[in-house]
Amino acid sequence: MSDAVNVKKWYVVRAVSGQENKVKTYIESEIKRFNLEDYISKVLVPTEKVVQIRNGKKINKERVYIPGYVMVEANLTGEIPHIIKSINGVIGFLGEVKGGDPVPLRMSEVNRLLGKVDELAVKADNVAIPFTIGETIKVIDGPFNGFNGTVEKINEEKRKLEVMVKIFGRKTPLELSYMQVEKV
């Protein structure tokens, strides 16, 4: 294998939104079909891990972090860009002038995106929903600092809790972020 083949850069393939993983699978199968493993080393869909609670069970789901983008580490020589573009669900390469060459990502952008992927994977695992409905919590931030309350609802997407707090003898619902409360 010559050195020229080893020089790979990251490119962004624009895909039909919602079909990123399908496009990744298609690209991977085309790589095998044309024996292009030397030219295309990685195909990634930047995703973030999201922890969801369904029926009291924690479910780890992956959500596409940048819809419509598939990252490819490749040496785009010869027919390779053409092969990728002809794949079902592929719109084209990012940064290409109409009919021009695909523009590779700068290393800083790659690191940011890949770093983001790793960071998100770690971050999401650490902040699995730490509260349960009915649990007593203490408000540690905001105007109701020091009050105790009961968790009524958990809005996972927004990382917020609906907490019922007794204020002057009356129960009042408050919407608080996870960061504003702690377990009692």
Q: What angle do CA 97, 98, 100 make, to 5 degrees?
A: 60
pLDDT at residue number 116: 66
Residue 60, exposed/middle/buried by CB under 10 A (0-12, 13-18, 19+)? exposed
pLDDT band, residue 144 (cuts 50/70/90): confident
Structural domains of the chain in order of their starting residue, each with its CATH number: 3-126 (3.30.70.940), 136-183 (2.30.30.30)
pLDDT at residue number 49: 76
Could you give the CA distance from residue 35 to residue 173 in angstroms, rounded to a whole number?
61
pLDDT at residue number 1: 46
- Tokens found for residue 23: 């496009």
Could you give the CA distance from residue 78 to residue 94 in angstroms, rounded to a whole number?
18
- Which carries the bigger pLDDT value, residue 157 or residue 2? 157
- Say what the alpha-carbon torsion angle 11, 42, 115, 120 is, to the nearest 10 degrees: 110
pLDDT at residue number 123: 52
Span 80-103, pLDDT tens digits: 999 999 999 999 998 756 666 788
Q: Are 45 and 24 in contact (CB under 8 A)?
A: yes
Span 18-75, pLDDT tens digits: 999 999 999 999 999 999 999 999 999 988 777 777 777 888 777 888 889 999 999 9
